[in-house]
Amino acid sequence: MAMKIGLTLNYSGDFKEAADHVVELEKVGADIVLMPEAYSYDAVSQLGYLAAKTNTIELGSGVFPIYTRTPTLLAMTAAGLDYVSDGRFQLGIGTSGPQVIEGFHGLPFDAPLGRTREVVDICRQVWRRERVNHNGKHYQVPLPAERGTGLGKPLQLINHPVRERIPISIAALGPKNVELTAEIAESWQPIFFYPEKAKSVWGEALDAGMAKRDPELGTLDVMAGPSLAIGDDVDDRLEWLKPQLALYIGGMGAKGRNFYHNLATRYGFGEVADRIQDLYLGGNKKDAIAAVPDELVRSISLVGPRGFVAERVAAFAEAGVTTLLATPISTDRHESVRFVEQLRELVPS
């Protein structure tokens, strides 16, 4: 599988400006763009806008939380976006986290594994235009008579989807989630991917999932998201990445319930992850940011001279990455486009 390149948009920025940027990146060979959804604008409207503005670049959600829409609505949305983009959409799903699901949506954050499996099963029924009939632990479609009016009957999607198998990508970090992703999804979206540590952290889970994988799903597309800056004078931009890492490692969850803190620990940064978390949760964000180690930032990024970035691209490829969702670190749109053009020249074809 040839390595693809793309990017993930910033959900909190100026979206219309970002969309114009995507049009430019499409012209220089970017393969895919993902639109996140957290607690800013919804991603669906923005993906529809991108579908109208672009012609060839693949579009994906990065990601739709599984709790905030019913499985059939997720399937309908994916089919609609696939239609308006002429078959260029992939459905990215994930759990998000308790901060968003409970704090913003007021929904319980429960049973992520079981719900994910059932969501994928229902979506694929919808796209095949089957009469949806699912009696799972977490979702029952139609709703059983004893829980409703008794008037609900199995229905099928009225429209004929562009494709009956829209690719599904799952954002997963924990071993069981990664194992499930390798079993049932076309693509996997890990965050903060450290190539040299990937096998020790995720290898066993990936192998277990692949052993149960349907061959019809093909090779698992591993979509890593390194930040990108190519040049002899870009090392200072590593500092630009530390606030995000401090936020995720330190502030995205209480102690014992922070997926990103757990990941940093599994990468071998347990003591410093504890320090970042203590500082961040204690309100000392400045020192938490300063505590983020340069080694971690550099290892999960593509930042440095062209030769160094080429070596890092090779490391990502060796670790099994097939799509680089490289986010340019720049305030200059023209420079961002140049970084992507340079990366296009460095990736294996």
Strands 140-141 and 134-135 come out as antiparallel
pLDDT along the chain (349 residues), means of 10: 89 88 94 95 96 98 97 98 98 93 95 97 98 97 94 96 98 96 98 97 98 97 98 96 96 90 96 97 97 97 98 97 96 94 92
Q: How many Å apart are CA 39 and CA 250, to the nearest integer?
A: 19
Residue 114 has what pLDDT?
97
Residue 1 has what pLDDT?
65
Helix (H, G, I), strand (E, B) or coil at 321: coil
- Across the chain, what does the average pLDDT equal? 96
pLDDT digits (tens, 9 = 90+) for 192-210: 999 999 999 999 999 999 9
Q: How many Å apart are CA 19 and CA 24, to the nearest integer?
A: 9
**pTM attached to this predicted model:** 0.95
Provide the residue ranges of all domains of the chain, joining segments of one domain with +: 4-233+301-346, 234-300
Look at domain 4-233+301-346 and name its CATH class. alpha beta
pLDDT digits (tens, 9 = 90+) for 244-299: 999 999 998 889 889 999 999 999 999 999 999 999 999 999 999 999 999 999 99
Q: Which of 133, 130, 129, 122 is nearest to 160 (CA)?
A: 129
Cite the beta strand spans of the chain per DSSP E.
4-8, 32-35, 58-61, 64-65, 89-94, 134-135, 140-141, 168-171, 187-189, 221-224, 227-230, 302-304, 323-325, 327-328
Residue 3 has what pLDDT?
94
Residue 97 has what pLDDT?
87
DSSP H/E element including 180: helix 175-184
Q: How many Å apart are CA 298 and CA 235, to the nearest integer?
A: 9
**Cβ–Cβ under 8 Å, residues 177 and 112:** yes
Helix (H, G, I), strand (E, B) or coil at 222: strand
**DSSP alpha helices (H): ranges in 212-332?**
238-246, 259-264, 270-281, 285-290, 294-299, 306-318
Strands 140-141 and 168-171 come out as unpaired
Tokens of 130: 């089957």
Residue 108 has what pLDDT?
96
